[in-house]
Amino acid sequence: MKRLLVCLLLVGVVGCETSPSPEPQLTQEDRPEPPPVENENPEPPLVQNESPKPPLVETDAEKAKKEYEKGIGFAERGDGVTAIACYSQAILLDSNYAATHIHRGLAYKAQGEYDKAIADYTRAIQLDENDAATYNLRAKCYMYKGDADLAIKDLSQVIRLDMGNADAYQFRAVAYEAHRELDKAIADCTTAIQLDENHALAYITRGVDFANQGNQKNAIADLTRAINILNIKRDGPGFDGLLDDLVALGKAHNNRRTVYAMLGDLEKTKADRLAFDGIRAALGLDSEEDVRRLFDPEENVKRFMEANDIDRDGFVSTEESERISEQNRRRLAPADNDGDGSISSGELFKFLIERTGRMDPRKFDSKP
């Protein structure tokens, strides 16, 4: 009996192992959700009470620079009135930038407002008292106003700051000439020539001063030297300073013509007159008033400079000189026979002869 009971128990155990009860089926609701996937680029947690960054604010100096640059652009396009307005706004924002005062002074000077230009140059000098170019610019305005004394003072300061500046000596000689201090003018021109042996304007100025002292021989020698320098300079492939060179050459011929007339040399007087007329035609000077403004020795100081607006300090080209130079380039464009974009000396004089019916003026230049 006991044996039978053990067997039954064994059978029961085996039966349980071989016939397992089925697992209950899970419904959709009972299925466990998959574990969340971690975000590879998690957004940073929001920080409470974080204020937004304030926008960048331009400083007055930065605003002033922008107005200054706008003024330069208007000046280059020939709009001096708008350029002055921009410069003035820049100065209101930052009055300690010397270049803004200088450029507004140039714009005022181009409009003939010399007192305003002088005020701007003076402020620029206060900001930089060692800038020789600004003294030179202010001296020009003093000369336009007929104040040779103040011009001489400024030009003396230029020379003190830059003793090797031949242009400053020549310009101061013009101021001395206006003041009738011919010995000082001649001395300054001599120094300019020592610094630059090809300084044509120094020879012209000294030649005129010699003539005014009654020294016709030295006057003719200096004026002839200037003419030869300018013609040699014009024998290059092109003319970078065409207007200035033509005006200077015309001035030299006109003054030498006057000296020859004083000496009674009618042949050489006529030759210089023909040369002068050819240059006058090239410059498009149709009226006697235009000629007087450029070449009359008695109008040498103010009218010559004012009509051409020649700045010899290399600081900046004025609007007027750029405009006149462009007009002159257009006027002489037909002389460019080979179409290479430049005008050789031969092309120029061929053009003058064809236009005026006059002879080549260079044949009269070599000998006094």
3-class secondary structure for 185-251?
HHHHHHHHHHHCCCCHHHHHHHHHHHHHCCCHHHHHHHHHHHHHHHHHHCCCCCCCCHHHHHHHHHH
In a domain, 134, yes or no: no
DSSP-based three-state secondary structure for 99:
helix
pLDDT at residue 232 in the model: 76
Q: What is the pTM assigned to this prediction? A: 0.64
pLDDT at residue 342 in the model: 52
In a domain, 53, yes or no: no
Task: Tell me the three-class secondary structure of 15-35, residue by residue.
Answer: HHHHCCCCCCCCCCCCCCCCC
The parent domain of residue 123 ranges over 60-129
Q: Which helix (H) or strand (E) holds 339?
A: none
In a domain, 35, yes or no: no
What confidence tens digit (pLDDT) does each residue in 230-242 have?
A: 887 765 544 444 6
Same-domain check for residues 298 and 204 = yes
pLDDT at residue 55 in the model: 59
From the number of C-beta atoms within 10 Å of its C-beta (0-12, 13-18, 19+), residue 218 rates as middle
pLDDT at residue 36 in the model: 58
Same-domain check for residues 173 and 251 = no
From the number of C-beta atoms within 10 Å of its C-beta (0-12, 13-18, 19+), residue 236 rates as exposed
Same-domain check for residues 167 and 301 = no
Same-domain check for residues 190 and 202 = no
E-strand ranges in the chain read none
DSSP-based three-state secondary structure for 291:
helix
Same-domain check for residues 77 and 147 = no
Same-domain check for residues 249 and 120 = no
Q: Are 157 and 163 in contact (CB under 8 A)?
A: no
How many separate helices (H) and strands (E) can be counted in the chain? Answer: 17, 0
- Using 70 as the pLDDT threshold, list the residues of the chain that sit under it: 1-57, 234-243, 285-368
Token pair, residue 327, equals 């007009």
Same-domain check for residues 334 and 215 = yes
